[in-house]
Structure 1
Amino acid sequence: MSRHVISLRDLTDGDLEWIVRRGVEIAAGPADAGASLRGRIVGIYFSRTSTRTRTSFTAGALRLGAQVITYGPGDLQLNTGETAEDTARVLGGMVDGLVIRTAGPPEEMRTFAAHCGAVVNAMSADEHPTQALADLTTLSARFGRVKGLRVLYVGEGNNSAAALALALPRFGGVELELRTPPGYGLAPEVLADATALAEVSGSRVRERHDLASLPGKVDVVYTTRWQTTGSTKADPDWRRRFEPFQVDEAVMARYPGACFMHDLPAHRGEEVTAAVLDGPASIAFEQAQHKLYSAMAVLEWCLAR
């Protein structure tokens, strides 16, 4: 039975925990992951740029024994006016699973999911679910747990932040503090859903639009690129609003035991200083490596569990 990962809202707590646990298992012994996708064909369709996500799903599928077909932004007849439904009906009869990155909403991917055996949202305009799954895998591998962790997120309430907010609070006792520039916070419906999830699990989610009264203790400081991949900002003066939200040495000095995370790509000197990103507290590149292990877990959950 095939499954889809289009939004984290679609996953049960058990689904989420299984993917994270399996990702940690693969990280502990990648060579022992097996070939659970032997005989499967996975399509990789990215209409937007990607380094880590595209490579992780391609390499992950190959490591698990699948064959891969890749499509760039100009390769499908969608560019000539074919409907998404017609494209999906054709691809669904030829590949077992499809990993997709677009600039549209997750609903666009549900058209493909109606005709394809398994569809994975590798980033849409509103949500980046596989990034959050990789982040949870990284945290679980690093701390031995996700429950009870205290995370300070600093930066735009973008699709990575949305996914983090929809995933972290489902683990009991988590404290997620988001500090986002005025006018660039989480979408209201995402914040409402994250708050509701936190109430069920005994976690806490809070968002403010300044850096005053930061939490006294956190385990993780997390930021993302100010200019989200594939997006632009209408306000020509947006950088002025973002400048106070840089993660620098002063921010990290408040939390000497915390680690620093970044979903990459990073712009040193903007959302984070080079001293932090390349410093001893940073696990950003370890986090990037875990995208491979998490992608393998996602593919197994979709196609081989």
Structure 2
Amino acid sequence: MKPPVRHLISIEDLTDEDLAAIVARGVQMAAGDHGQPLDGLVAGIYFAKTSTRTRSAFSAGALRLGARLVSYGPGDLQLNTGETSEDTGRVFAGMLDVLVARTAADEAEMRAWACQDRMAVINAMSAQEHPTQALTDLTTLMRRFGRIEGLRLLYVGEGNNTATALALALTRVPGFELELRTPPGYGLPAELLDRARKQAAAYGAVITERHDMDDLPVGVDAIYTTRWQTTGSSKPDPDWREVFAPFQVRPQLWRHSPNALFLHDLPAHRGEEVAAEVLDGPASIAFEQAHNKMYSAMAVLEWSHQVTGRIC
């Protein structure tokens, strides 16, 4: 009998052991240490929103691990003709072994699909969180520094689903210092920030958030930004670009941290959230980070079929 599976809807679904193991396994996958543990399994790749890196990472990663693929785009499912999401999920679970989904909607839909133990459900981005991006970022830091504990990261930009996932992940790393500089009115959700602060206190990490670019920290290990216009989101303020303008990542930031690496979850809009000379400069590892997404995806896919999962 096929063993139950594990689901990844949020970073908070992972135990500390899970988090460490997926990151370590991603590093091993990057070194070519993988067989075909998903041989004979069928992976569904459903992206209702645009994607280059995440869709390619999970598709290529599943194939490299031996799985077969069934891919769905935004116009392919009977959801468009009135079938309920619950019924769609029940059909998926009877035919697929794993479903990687990007809806950019509330994660409740994915949690409903995960109320079974036959098909693993992996969140490739919801409105609230981008958990597999955070796992990619931790894998990237581990590959570059050989450790994550004790590193310092400056995040500049909107408190979006990528920032949320980073906050939930990095505040579980002892000694990690995460400082966020977010535009006024566009910070992390208050309830999430409160949870992250309590978590940081428990793990010996630090998280701070400010809404200006004054008195930046000195000597950080990495500077991170994301696209201002993320998939599936919109800004209520018609003058939001004026609010965001001071938070563009420019070469001047390296005066404070000359050895810092630059990360970006991509796609990037040169001249908006990041100056072209930063993205294309010697500090940038953004495209290396993008390539690591496949290795991290492979680690998540393997993990999802290793032991008993969480069943509703």
TM-score bracket for the superposition, by shorter chain length: over 0.9
- For structure 1, list consecutive stretches of 5 or more residues without a partner in the other structure: none
1:23 CA displacement: 0.2
1:37–1:65 Cα contact (<8 Å) kept: yes
2:30 aligned with 1:8, yes or no? no
Q: Comparing 209-218 with 112-121, which one deviates more in the overlay?
A: 112-121
Q: Which residue of 2 aligns with 1:275?
A: 277
- Measured against aligned partners, the alpha-carbon deviations of 1:90-138 in whole angstroms (never above 9, x if no partner) come to 1100000100001211111011111452000000001000000000000
Q: Which residue of 1 aligns with 2:249?
A: 247
Q: Which residue of 2 aligns with 1:190?
A: 192
1: CA distance, partners of 2:191 / 2:103: 21
1:66 CA displacement: 0.3
2: CA distance, partners of 1:14 / 1:233: 37
1:282 CA displacement: 0.3
2:41–2:68 Cα contact (<8 Å) kept: yes
2: CA distance, partners of 1:155 / 1:137: 21
2: CA distance, partners of 1:193 / 1:77: 38
Q: Which residue of 1 aligns with 2:74?
A: 73
2: CA distance, partners of 1:107 / 1:212: 38
1:14 aligned partner, one-letter code: E
1:99 aligned partner, one-letter code: V
1:196 CA displacement: 1.4
Q: Which residue of 2 aligns with 1:85?
A: 86
Aligned length: 303
- For structure 2, list consecutive stretches of 5 or more residues without a partner in the other structure: 308-312
2: CA distance, partners of 1:216 / 1:269: 24
2: CA distance, partners of 1:109 / 1:145: 32
2: CA distance, partners of 1:216 / 1:236: 34
Q: Which residue of 1 aligns with 2:24?
A: 21
1:26 aligned partner, one-letter code: M
2: CA distance, partners of 1:299 / 1:193: 28
2:94 aligned with 1:96, yes or no? no
SS at match of 1:42: strand
1: CA distance, partners of 2:210 / 2:87: 44
1:99–1:121 Cα contact (<8 Å) kept: yes
1:304 CA displacement: 3.7
1:7 aligned partner, one-letter code: S
1:18 CA displacement: 0.5
Q: Which residue of 1 aligns with 2:310?
A: none
Q: How does 1:198-237 map to 2 (within 5 A)?
A: 198-237=200-239
Q: Which residue of 2 aligns with 1:40?
A: 41
SS at match of 1:178: strand
From 286, 291, 294, the equivalent of 1:292 is 294
1:36–1:304 Cα contact (<8 Å) kept: no
1: CA distance, partners of 2:44 / 2:226: 28
1:34 CA displacement: 0.5
From 263, 266, 272, the equivalent of 1:264 is 266
RMSD (Å) for aligned C-alpha atoms: 0.9
TM normalised by structure 2 equals 0.96
1: CA distance, partners of 2:154 / 2:261: 11
2: CA distance, partners of 1:259 / 1:103: 29
Identity, % of aligned pairs?
65
From 141, 162, 176, the equivalent of 1:160 is 162
SS at match of 1:213: coil
1:252 CA displacement: 2.0
Q: Which residue of 2 aligns with 1:121?
A: 123
TM normalised by structure 1 equals 0.98
